[in-house]
Structure 1
Amino acid sequence: MKVFFDNCTSPVFASTLHGFIEHEGHAAAHIRDIAGLPNGRNSKDVEWIDFLRKSNDRWIFVSGDGRILKNAAERAALRSAGLHGFILAPAYQKAPLHQVASVLIWRWPEILQITNLLQPPSMHEVPINKGTKLRSLPI
């Protein structure tokens, strides 16, 4: 499985998670490092969603912007793409990078379990508190 991090996340999150999951055959990449996107790092949400949909790889994505669920075109693209999405809770905006990266690693088994149990598309909010479960979001 591959994990896509959009522009609303730091590249540090992708490289940190990649280092942790690579030995399991998974990969993580930030939008800036994805070759083949129509407008590179400046690709709009519907463009990278379509890119992931057309890929032969199994992708999930992580975003720091919950507004992706409020735009009708982006919601439709997400539903048709059949992706699992994970939105970082608003509290992440104020947290230091090292804490966010550690929570993503802490949450990886739970994220992986969700992607294996549920049929896509699905969306979940990732709370910053390690004791709180991921929350299902409507798509």
Structure 2
Amino acid sequence: MKVFFDNCTAPVLASTLHGFIVHSGHAAVHIKDIAELPRGRHSTDLEWIDLLRSATEVWIFVSGDKRILKNPAERAALRSAGLHGFILAAGYQKTPLNQVAATLVARWPDMCRITEIISAPSMHEIPIGKHTKLRSLPL
């Protein structure tokens, strides 16, 4: 499985998670490192969603922007792409990056479990609290 981090996340989050999951055959990449995107880091949400949809690998994505669920075109694209998405809760914007990275590593087993037991498309929010469960979001 590959994990895509969009522009609303810091590149260090992708590289930190990648270091943790690569030993088990997974990978994490930030949008800035995807050469196949026509406009690189400046690609629209619809462009990267289409790229992940057409890929042969299994992709999930992490975003820091819950507004992706408010735009009708992006919601439709996410549903048709059949992706599992994870949105960082609003509290992460004020949280130091090292704590956000640590939380993503700690939540990795939960993210994997969700992708195994729930069929795509699905959307979940990663809460700031350590003892709070991932929350399902309407897609």
TM-score where L is the length of structure 2: 0.99
Q: Which one-letter code corresponds to 2:97 in the other structure? A: L
Structure 1 CA distance for aligned equivalents of residues 101 and 72 of structure 2? 30
1:11 corresponds in structure 2 to: 11
CA deviation after TM superposition for structure 1 residue 38, in Å: 1.8
CA deviation after TM superposition for structure 1 residue 65, in Å: 0.1
Percent sequence identity is: 71
CA deviation after TM superposition for structure 1 residue 44, in Å: 0.3
Gaps of 5+ in 2: none
Moved more, 104-113 or 33-42: 33-42
Mapping for residues 1-139 of structure 1, pairs under 5 Å: 1-139=1-139
CA deviation after TM superposition for structure 1 residue 49, in Å: 0.2
Query: 1:34-67 deviations in whole A, cap 9, x for unaligned?
Result: 1101211100000000000000110000000000
Which SS does the other structure have where 1:132 is aligned?
coil
Q: Which one-letter code corresponds to 1:82 in the other structure? A: G
Structure 1 CA distance for aligned equivalents of residues 129 and 18 of structure 2? 22
Structure 2 CA distance for aligned equivalents of residues 28 and 70 of structure 1? 25
Gaps of 5+ in 1: none
Query: 1:101-128 deviations in whole A, cap 9, x for unaligned?
Result: 0000000000000001110000000001
Structure 2 CA distance for aligned equivalents of residues 97 and 16 of structure 1? 11
Runs of 4 or more above 3 Å deviation: none
CA RMSD of aligned residues (A): 0.4
Query: 1:3-51 deviations in whole A, cap 9, x for unaligned?
Result: 0000000000000000000000000000000110121110000000000
